A and B are shown apart, each in its own frame.
Chain A
Amino acid sequence: QKEVEQNSGPLSVPEGAIASLNCTYSDRGSQSFFWYRQYSGKSPELIMSIYSNGDKEDGRFTAQLNKASQYVSLLIRDSQPSDSATYLCAVIGDNYGQNFVFGPGTRLSVLP
């Protein structure tokens, strides 16, 4: 059974700080990794995707992947209260690219 693990939180950070969200996965053959944001009562929306080891930056968001350690993280710089949400880590393990496995999510609270 493929597993994706995240700390459930809540993770609280002050406004303007860096929020660091972590995710580990069990399937060493996993190829594609995603971070989704889900506001309370809403559907998930894609923030970042990453496929290669290293860092990928998009605005205030940086995704980091380390396949050897089976670890992927999301850094949010200059955190804003509007970033308060649950962040879901997702992994694709199969060749077809549609068998998504999600982690339970980390709830982030950015305090004004």
Chain B
Amino acid sequence: EAQVTQNPRYLITVTGKKLTVTCSQNMNHEYMSWYRQDPGLGLRQIYYSMNVEVTDKGDVPEGYKVSRKEKRNFPLILESPSPNQTSLYFCASSGSGSWNEQFFGPGTRLTVL
């Protein structure tokens, strides 16, 4: 089954404790993105990647890091999480053949205390 998977789906952590949210896709897609969704603000792009080792900042990259060492994986790293990073996070991927059709993962709900 073609899908984007994220882990964990739910996470409660404390301020300053480094964490990684994994994202993996099995569709051989070139493009991957991370978004956060907050009430009233909609989806905001954090980082995106055009291909392996190629990443760029979205609209809200502060406090986040990403890496793209393999085509299928695009982890989101919070080196020192803060309460304002409490949010619902989505990973998405799309292929060069239909570059605009993003497939979204199920989401990760993160709470930083």
Contact = CB atoms under 8 A, between A and B. Distances in A.
Interface of A: 1-2, 4, 8, 32, 34, 42-46, 49, 88, 90, 92, 96-105
Nearest to B57: A99
A21 to B, nearest CB: 14
B40 A44 contact: no
B107 A102 contact: no
B102 A100 contact: yes
A45 B31 CA distance: 16
Nearest to B104: A43
Contacts, number: 59
Given A43-B107, A44-B90, A104-B42, A99 B100 contact: no
A27 to B, nearest CB: 12
Interface string B79-113: 00000000000100010000111101111000000
Contacts of B25: none
Contacts of B94: 98
A92 B102 CA distance: 12
A102 to B, nearest CB: 4
Contact of A98 (B41, B44, B50, B104): B50
Interface in B1-50: 31, 33, 35, 40-45, 48, 50
B18 to A, nearest CB: 26
A36 B112 CA distance: 28
B43 A97 contact: no
A99 B90 contact: no
A8 B107 contact: no
A103 B42 contact: yes
Given A43-B90, A45-B104, 15 more contacts: A1-B59, A34-B100, A44-B43, A44-B104, A46-B102, A88-B43, A96-B50, A97-B100, A98-B33, A99-B48, A99-B59, A100-B33, A101-B59, A102-B42, A102-B43
